[in-house]
Structure 1
């Protein structure tokens, strides 16, 4: 019988154990770990661990005959002004006891801090990775990939699903395809004088600064959202200019006021998570130049411009037809209007969940 125990991650050896576990659990093609990001977080250098929070990483190790092996990991993020602790960076073998020990360690610390409960998986906040996929399939860029048994292990530890999300998959659109409602909505905004444009690499940061207040406002009610300042936002997202296809980033202006944006990203699979070498860099550049699939990732519309999302979807559809590319409408919260765009062309879906546990 295995003897499991929990230990806090403190020294460099324990940090390496924390970092090495995902590669032991996943096939290379399905590994979505951002190791550089995790290294920065564990060393306290990442922008998301600056400020007023406590970050507590743990390992669950199996001890037998004086040999120690890592069976699981987790990290608890505690913010003073949050009612819940965020349990994230979860990885483990398929063993209920391991999950109970890891989540139990988070629960004890969260209770000590006076929290009402735990939510997870949330890696630091909305700006990290969050949500569990309900099945294991080849991941796309930005997808929270995990072992299919993770939601079950959380539920065995007393967690319940608090939010559901869905991604819809679309085949290449036929050149003759039209969505009359979307086309009329786009014409409506164009007649009102709205300008639709794309950023370039040279002006990307300027437009990103304009996107910042709109994104902060429209996403503030999402689970795990934490307000960050503009400087931190630019640090997190300015590198997008090197990997986006500018033609698939849409900005809508009424005179000089930004009314909405829609960011679509080529699907790089897990290329962006892998260490760079000349061959891999070439693969990334080729994928950027001729993507076979786009991830429809971030959409935000200012209050008072409702319906602009459907207009954006018309612009996206027009570009996708020209590029003869598939698409994925990614990680939509169930019940949102955007869940219904182009449902007549949907060829498949994947579901995701966020879980929570209330302390009694």
Structure 2
């Protein structure tokens, strides 16, 4: 076996990208990422590579002359440990089911991070930051995947653990099918919603907004809402727009939106996506005329929705208005009114307070995701 390391070498980058597709060839459940998005993220002009203090190195492993694995070692200058020292990251990980190949890749990444940047801790999988791909799926491999879900072979977590990594944080997803449980879930927040309406708060769906004009407000609101979240880092507005443009086709604008306070200030938001896993799978990672036809042919075959993200301004939370719960009620209540009753509440931290409401209804998580860490 041999290893090659590089940064932007065009030929090796093509091999790096191609292996991510060939490894999953024929996988019936796979929802492949769009190839052009991967190319964008690995191109020299991607925003991550322009920021002072950021660095990366890519590695390809070869077995019998063919690519058998890949990994990228990264330093994001804004992700630091408790002593304010940079934390190393490993991402874009793909590997055959061979623990020896995995060990060589992980060790090469560790050695580069330790010797070139002196990091003391390494986390992964994480592609650059909180905003792009991170975490492994660790439970729920038998479930139908949804668009945007971490997707990996079941042996990846074990390869990381054999490489010295241990679980750092965990998230889960909960799927609910049917009106009855959704109505029971939101029932405790109905009065809070009514109270805020009486106080002059407004719950405005995205269909009533010029979203392109609202993007700066949403960018700022998300930035403030997630400030302090583990490993959260802000991204430039240009990259935020690029990410939104890439998923805008899936936005359920009729049930996503903002909450405005009495002064007309956006204080909370919620984002729900239509789960287009089947339609995106049909495109096989490529945006072509044929792929578009396949996408459209499957677009209406599944009416499952993904409650993707929500947040509120910290000062609003500190006031105890309950705007987050009221906004959650408004979104699910409007969804039920429109006949949407199949939901995935996606990638929630296990220690998030809303988990208690699912437990109250005896609804157990069906999927789990894990971020790992090891000493360098």
TM-score scaled by structure 1? 0.89
Change in CA separation of 1:241 and 1:43 when aligned onto 2, cut-off 3 Å: closer
Q: Distance in 2 between matches of 1:291 and 1:256?
A: 36
Q: After superposition, give the CA deviation of every residue in 1:121-147 in whole Å (9 maximum; x if it has no partner).
A: 001111110000014343211101011
Equivalent residue, structure 2, for 1:295? 306
Maintained 8 Å contact 1:57/1:73: yes
Q: Distance in 1 between matches of 2:110 and 2:189?
A: 47
Q: Distance in 1 between matches of 2:362 and 2:227?
A: 31
Pick the aligned partner of 1:71 from 55, 68, 71.
Answer: 68
Q: Secondary structure at the match of 2:218?
A: helix
Query: Runs of 5+ in structure 1 lacking a partner?
Result: none
Maintained 8 Å contact 1:141/1:268: yes
State the Cα distance separating 1:261 from its structure 2 match. Answer: 0.3
Q: After superposition, give the CA deviation of every residue in 1:171-202 in whole Å (9 maximum; x if it has no partner).
A: 02149934431211211221221100022497
Equivalent residue, structure 2, for 1:5? 2
Q: Secondary structure at the match of 1:227?
A: coil
Change in CA separation of 1:55 and 1:200 when aligned onto 2, cut-off 3 Å: farther
Q: Distance in 2 between matches of 1:214 and 1:169?
A: 27
Pick the aligned partner of 1:324 from 340, 354, 358.
Answer: 340
Equivalent residue, structure 1, for 2:83? none
Equivalent residue, structure 1, for 2:153? 147
State the Cα distance separating 1:316 from its structure 2 match. Answer: 2.6
Equivalent residue, structure 2, for 1:54? 55
Q: After superposition, give the CA deviation of every residue in 1:106-128 in whole Å (9 maximum; x if it has no partner).
A: 11111121111210000111111
Q: After superposition, give the CA deviation of every residue in 1:130-165 in whole Å (9 maximum; x if it has no partner).
A: 000014343211101011111111111111111010
Equivalent residue, structure 1, for 2:23? 25
State the Cα distance separating 1:279 from its structure 2 match. Answer: 5.0
Pick the aligned partner of 1:258 from 237, 241, 266.
Answer: 266
State the Cα distance separating 1:6 from its structure 2 match. Answer: 1.5
Equivalent residue, structure 2, for 1:39? 39
Q: After superposition, give the CA deviation of every residue in 1:69-126 in whole Å (9 maximum; x if it has no partner).
A: 1111101111345421110000101111111111111111111211112100001111
Equivalent residue, structure 1, for 2:137? 133
Q: Does 1:162 align with 2:168?
A: yes
Q: Secondary structure at the match of 1:248?
A: coil
Q: Secondary structure at the match of 1:61?
A: strand
Change in CA separation of 1:284 and 1:174 when aligned onto 2, cut-off 3 Å: farther
Q: Distance in 1 between matches of 2:334 and 2:37?
A: 33
Pick the aligned partner of 1:111 from 97, 111, 114.
Answer: 114
Maintained 8 Å contact 1:86/1:124: yes
Q: Distance in 2 between matches of 1:259 and 1:283?
A: 39
Q: Distance in 2 between matches of 1:231 and 1:20?
A: 27
Change in CA separation of 1:46 and 1:195 when aligned onto 2, cut-off 3 Å: same
Q: Secondary structure at the match of 1:119?
A: strand
Q: Distance in 2 between matches of 1:59 and 1:176?
A: 46
Maintained 8 Å contact 2:126/2:133: yes
Map 1:89-238 → 2, pairs under 5 A: 89-112=92-115, 113-135=117-139, 136-137=141-142, 138-174=144-180, 177-178=183-184, 179-200=186-207, 203-238=210-245
Q: Distance in 1 between matches of 2:291 and 2:374?
A: 41
Maintained 8 Å contact 1:244/1:288: no
Q: Distance in 2 between matches of 1:41 and 1:175?
A: 40
Change in CA separation of 1:287 and 1:263 when aligned onto 2, cut-off 3 Å: farther
Q: Secondary structure at the match of 1:8?
A: strand
Comparing 171-180 with 156-165, greater Cα deviation is found at 171-180
Maintained 8 Å contact 1:126/1:222: no
Q: Distance in 2 between matches of 1:151 and 1:226?
A: 25
Change in CA separation of 1:76 and 1:297 when aligned onto 2, cut-off 3 Å: same
Q: After superposition, give the CA deviation of every residue in 1:260-296 in whole Å (9 maximum; x if it has no partner).
A: 0000000011644621234543454576667511110
Q: After superposition, give the CA deviation of every residue in 1:234-263 in whole Å (9 maximum; x if it has no partner).
A: 232244443312112121001221110000
| Matched residue count | 352
